[in-house]
Amino acid sequence: MYEVNQSEFNDEVHLLIKKVSQMREAFIEYVQEPFSNLIMQLTSAGKLHIKLRYTDWTKTDFLDDEIADYFVYKYISKDIPQHVSLDTMKKMETYDDKLNEKYEL
């Protein structure tokens, strides 16, 4: 679909990861709650939305594949994969929203 030099793409991804890590460290340095996830969404109109999320999924009983399915459900498509229960997605959404509500603008 797009002609992208894989090496250049990888370099840019690594630079982005480094910048996000530096930003997280700046939060800590300025005594701000460090975010655990940075979500970038690019709309079809080319508008970039960035959300900082504070849900530490490592402190939950949710499985890695459930977390990955949740991110797809929440940020890409509200379609729930057939192998995942609606109840699980709703529990994850409630947990995620509750932890992040105090940070929403």
pLDDT in tens, 8-37: 999 999 999 999 999 999 999 999 989 999
Structural domain of 25: 1-34
In this structure, the answer to whether residues 80 and 50 fall within a common structural domain is yes
Q: Could you tell me if 53 and 75 lie in one domain?
A: yes
For residue 22, give both structure tokens: 């530096």
pLDDT band with cut points at 50, 70 and 90 for residue 81: confident
Say if residue 44 is in the same domain as residue 30.
no
Residue pair 55/37 in contact (Cβ under 8 Å)? The answer is yes
Helix (H, G, I), strand (E, B) or coil at 39: strand
pLDDT at 28 (0 to 100): 95
Structure letter (DSSP) for residue 82: T
Instruction: Judge whether residue 59 has pLDDT over 80.
Output: yes
Report helix, strand or coil for 40: strand
